[in-house]
Amino acid sequence: MKTLIKGGRVIDPANNIDAVMDVLAEDGKIAQVGENLSADGAEVVDAAGKIVTPGLIDMHVHLREPGQEAKEDFGSGSRAAAAGGYTTVATMPNTRPVIDDAALVKAMQKRAEESAVVHIEIIGAVTKGQKGEEMAELGDMTEAGAVAFSDDGHFTKSAKVLLNCYDYLRTFDKIIINHEEEPSLVEEGVMNESHRSAMLGMKGRPTVAEDIAVARDIMLAEYADARVHVAHISSGRAVDLVRQAKKRGVKVTAEATPQHMTMTDELVVLSDSSTKINPPLRSQSDVDAVLEGLKDGTIDMVVTDHSPHAQEEKDREYMYAPSGFPGLETALGIMLTDLVHQGKLDLVTLIERMTAAPARVFKLKAGSLAVGMPADIAVIDPDLEWVVDDKKFYTKGSHSPFIGRKLKGKAVMTFVDGKLVMKDGEILA
């Protein structure tokens, strides 16, 4: 099978390409990238006025399998990913049961092969049951194909346990993705600790809880000469801690979500729990610092922290509702609308942080349009205006704070291994 995508603005940061060119995919691989290409028998796609990039990569999603399929499953989650222009996502292990052994990693890989329309990477737990007490089967899970390890949703209280895990995984050159909040400072907190939380009478989660956790985990990784990745960074001081650690040569990387670069705690209202996330929406100064960190490379990548819940769970009082909302179908549109089109972020930088960077950090065979690479491609219309409508979501979660918003910019085609799986918002696979 051949597909020739003609006349689009090809942005491929991994190969320093930004030019109007053609891309030829053949037998699931990138066959050629160049000007005025032709291929006998190829299906021709006119991409004039569009952007052609490697398929987007999200290294932090919650697809809820196994055990919480009522919230999301690999089928619905992968379709949401394709609708958003993503071709590779990595699913977190805080499931039921927790993905903490090789058998579960292999089982989830098989499930992905059977039901997913995009590539799904499996993240294993750092500790057994994510309890922070005993190292999980890290070596066996690595051999089974786990892409990284995380106790996401849980802070590993024992520095000794985490240090042992760093030491062990250094042999395999694998990354621990840390959820950074000192639990004693955030107990029962439901939003950022600020003037806004005081006005609303809500218990807060202070930024210093994140700062302390980031500082500790960076120092432990530095001591062990191991790799550490800061999940969904949200505090300005935490960003600077990562920046300074990188200057010292620490093997630290970081990620940030669209919501932590575009939304503040001023948007929190008691009547709408869709803004309840963890870490919480922060102050404007934190938002500015996170965006600056993304721009200068302190923060390596954009993730969604896609976290769908059953509607009845979110339709509760703010303080009792679970944290998180689905983000795969809105992330690109939010970043383009609120940052790129506003002149706050360069388009090429955004594409790099959503393709080449996560592939490089996690050593994925993805994020590049080099000849011979998998033909995972997103075609993006940067000027397409659309309204976020939860009734059109492929995810099972419908509690997004962006519902009803008019956005500018959207993926209009997604190719996985050369196969067109999404066109104009419709999943074809």
Catalytic residues: 305
Q: Where are the alpha helices (DSSP H) in 120-206?
A: 138-144, 159-170, 195-200
Shortest CA distance to 62 belongs to which of 326, 358, 301?
326
Identity of residue 117: V
CA distance 282 to 239: 13
CA distance 237 to 229: 16
Sequence-separated (6 or more) residues with CB below 8 Å from residue 43: 1, 2, 3, 4
Two structure tokens written together for 388: 């976020």
**What is the rounded (10 degree) CA torsion for 284, 337, 421, 113?**
-10
What per-residue string of b and e applies to 147-186 under the rule 16 or more CB within 10 Å gives b? bbbbbbbbbbeeeebbbbbbebbeeeebbbbbbbbbeebb
Phi, psi of 423 (to 5 degrees): -140, 125
CA distance 426 to 117: 13
Q: Distances from the Cα of 390 to the Cαs of 74, 119, 236, 276, 414, in angstroms?
A: 19, 24, 32, 18, 20
Task: Please provide the distance, in angstroms rounded to a whole number, between the alpha carbons at the two ends of the chain.
Answer: 16
Sequence-separated (6 or more) residues with CB below 8 Å from residue 199: none
